[in-house]
Every structure is written in structure tokens, then in C-alpha cells.
């Protein structure tokens, strides 16, 4: 099915999942019941969450979805130019709904500095990719929440109350220390980040790597439009950003064996070839 994004950045698909594989990357054309296009990701997310509950009132857990959706479930899928970034059925997983409410509250209205698009699409994409990668629930939820402490006024207490202590542990280590200045202490802050992620291990590394893959893909999208001028939006320019990406990659490869590292490494090499 074609997903045009010439005018609108986001699309919301309503899907009849009867007699199909509920976790398929894409569905038969006949399964798609509707396609709403918009540049307002917040409205689409709200619509997806609210209407999923209305369409599937009997679904109380993801186990219910897995066992009965093929007998008459309705899915909502949020997409952007890179593909799917959210499926409403995920709200049936433990703590995901709490995470969605938090990021909708705190990232709502925020704009990403690199490309000017809604900030909200990034945590949604990270959480979704972790889910599609079959990572544990606490890793998936941490993916949704990974920027809350660093880039919003959300508190640790709120994350614990909505998502649990395990999620907070991961979110804390993948967050840069806000007490360190970007101008004076940038290198120190990044070194601390790498050590913190390394100390917690594979769960934190998974969130970090997916986060970086998504950020690099967004960078290249914008680089195609702006070229070398894009580097002026970054505090330390190409040399320091490349150093950081390589340092995270090296650390991750020491402690983790996963195909995602190949994708990350390919993107880092691509970054090295860009002009500043």
C-alpha cells in the first residue's frame, strides 16, 4: 500500500486484522479500512488510542489481543516517511499506556531542532522499533520515555508511578546529565553518558542504539534538504558528533551482539562521509 507524504508527514491507518498475522510489518491492502493524513501527530495519536479502546472494548491485555484479535480486532497504525512508529495494540502491554500519556503530556508541542518536526515522533519511533525487535517490556517502555528526564520537566517520581522502577533505571542512564553545560562540559557529559549506559548493560545499550539509529536517519533526511549547513545547528559540529557516535558504537560492540549494531555502524560510516 502506498503511503504518500508529499503534503502530510503523518498517516493513521485503520486495519481489520481478521484472519491475518497481528504483528505483520504490513497487511494486505484489503485489510486497510481507512487512511487519515495529517501534519498533527498529537491529534492522530489521541485518535488512535481512544478509538482503539472503542473498537476493541473486550481487549483488556495484550494476551487478549494475541488470542482473539484475528477473530475481529481493529488496529490503528501511525506512520511517517520511515514507516510505522506506533500501533495502538501496544497500549495493552504493561506500562505502555502510562508511557504514552507521559510523552503526550511532556513532549506535546515540542519541536526537534534538527528538522523542525514534532518531537513526539521520535520517542514513538524508538519505542516501536524496540517492540518490533522483541525486546522486554521494560526496554520498550523505556524507549518511549527515554528523553523525558533530559528534555522535559517530567520527574523521576512520575516515571516510576506510570511505568515502574525498572523503566526509570534505564531512562536515567540514557539521559545526559543536565547539571553539565553543553558549552563547557559537552565532552564530559557525553563520556558520563557512555559509562552510565555501559554500567547498566544490554537493556540500556539497546535503547541507546535504537535512539541513535533513529536520530541518524532523521539527520540524513534533513541533510538531503540542507546539505552541510545542517551541521551549524549542532553545538560541537561534525568532528565531535562523530567522535561520540563512534564511542557509543565501540562500547556497544564490547558488550552486545545484535544485528542492530550493523545498522548503527553503517549509519556512522555514512555520517563520516558527509560534508561540513
- Looking at residue 44, its pLDDT comes to 97
Cβ atoms of residues 154 and 107 within 8 Å: no
- Looking at residue 29, its pLDDT comes to 86
Verdict on whether the full-model pTM lies above 0.75 = yes
- Looking at residue 5, its pLDDT comes to 53
| Inter-CA distances, 98 with 44, 143, 158, 219, Å | 18, 13, 10, 29
Query: Which one has a higher pLDDT value, 161 or 29?
Result: 161
Instruction: List, for residues 197-238, the tens digit of each pLDDT value.
Output: 999 999 999 999 999 999 999 999 999 999 999 988 887 789
Instruction: Grade residue 1 by pLDDT with cuts at 50, 70 and 90.
Output: very low
* Residues 6 or more apart in contact with residue 217 via CB below 8 angstroms: 82, 267
Tell whether the model's pLDDT for residue 2 goes beyond 60.
Answer: no
Determine the Cα–Cα distance for residues 107 and 96; give it in Å rounded to an integer: 16
Residues forming a β-bridge with 38: 10
Q: Domain map of the chain by residue range?
A: 1-92
Instruction: Grade residue 181 by pLDDT with cuts at 50, 70 and 90.
Output: low
Whose CA is closest to 103, among 84, 127, 87? 127
Tell whether the model's pLDDT for residue 80 goes beyond 90.
Answer: yes
- Looking at residue 3, its pLDDT comes to 45
Dihedral angle of Cα 14, 3, 148, 137, to the nearest 10 degrees: 60
Amino acid at each position: 500500500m502506498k503511503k504518500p507524504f508529499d503534503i502530510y508527514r503523518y498517516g493513521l491507518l485503520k486495519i481489520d486484522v481478521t484472519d491475518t498475522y497481528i504483528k505483520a510489518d504490513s497487511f494486505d491492502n484489503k485489510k486497510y479500512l481507512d487512511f487519515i493524513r495529517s501534519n498533527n501527530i498529537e491529534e492522530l495519536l489521541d485518535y488512535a488510542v481512544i478509538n482503539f479502546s472503542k473498537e476493541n472494548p473486550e481487549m483488556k491485555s495484550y494476551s487478549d489481543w494475541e488470542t482473539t484479535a484475528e477473530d475481529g480486532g481493529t488496529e490503528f497504525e501511525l506512520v511517517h516517511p520511515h514507516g510505522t512508529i506506533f500501533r495502538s495494540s501496544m497500549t495493552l502491554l504493561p506500562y505502555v499506556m502510562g508511557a504514552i500519556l507521559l510523552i503526550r503530556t511532556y513532549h506535546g508541542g515540542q519541536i526537534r531542532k534538527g528538522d523542525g518536526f514534532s518531537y513526539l515522533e521520535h520517542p514513538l519511533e524508538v519505542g516501536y522499533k524496540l517492540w518490533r525487535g522483541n525486546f522486554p517490556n521494560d526496554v520498550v517502555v523505556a524507549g518511549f520515555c527515554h528523553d523525558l528526564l533530559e528534555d522535559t520537566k517530567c520527574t523521576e517520581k512520575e516515571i516510576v508511578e506510570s511505568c515502574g522502577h525498572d523503566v526509570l533505571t534505564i531512562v536515567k542512564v540514557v539521559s545526559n546529565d543536565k547539571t553539565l553545560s553543553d558549552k563547557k562540559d559537552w565532552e564530559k557529559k557525553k563520556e558520563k553518558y557512555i559509562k552510565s549506559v555501559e554500567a547498566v548493560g544490554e537493556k540500556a545499550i539497546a535503547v541507546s542504539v535504537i535512539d541513535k539509529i533513529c536520530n541518524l536517519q532523521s539527520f540524513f533526511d534533513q541533510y538531503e534538504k540542507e546539505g552541510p549547513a545542517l551541521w551549524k545547528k549542532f553545538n560541537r559540529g561534525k568532528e565531535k558528533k562523530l567522535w561520540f557516535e563512534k564511542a557509543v558504537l565501540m562500547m556497544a560492540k564490547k558488550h552486545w551482539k545484535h544485528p542492530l549494531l550493523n545498522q548503527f555502524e553503517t549509519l556512522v560510516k555514512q555520517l563520516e562521509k558527509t560534508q561540513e
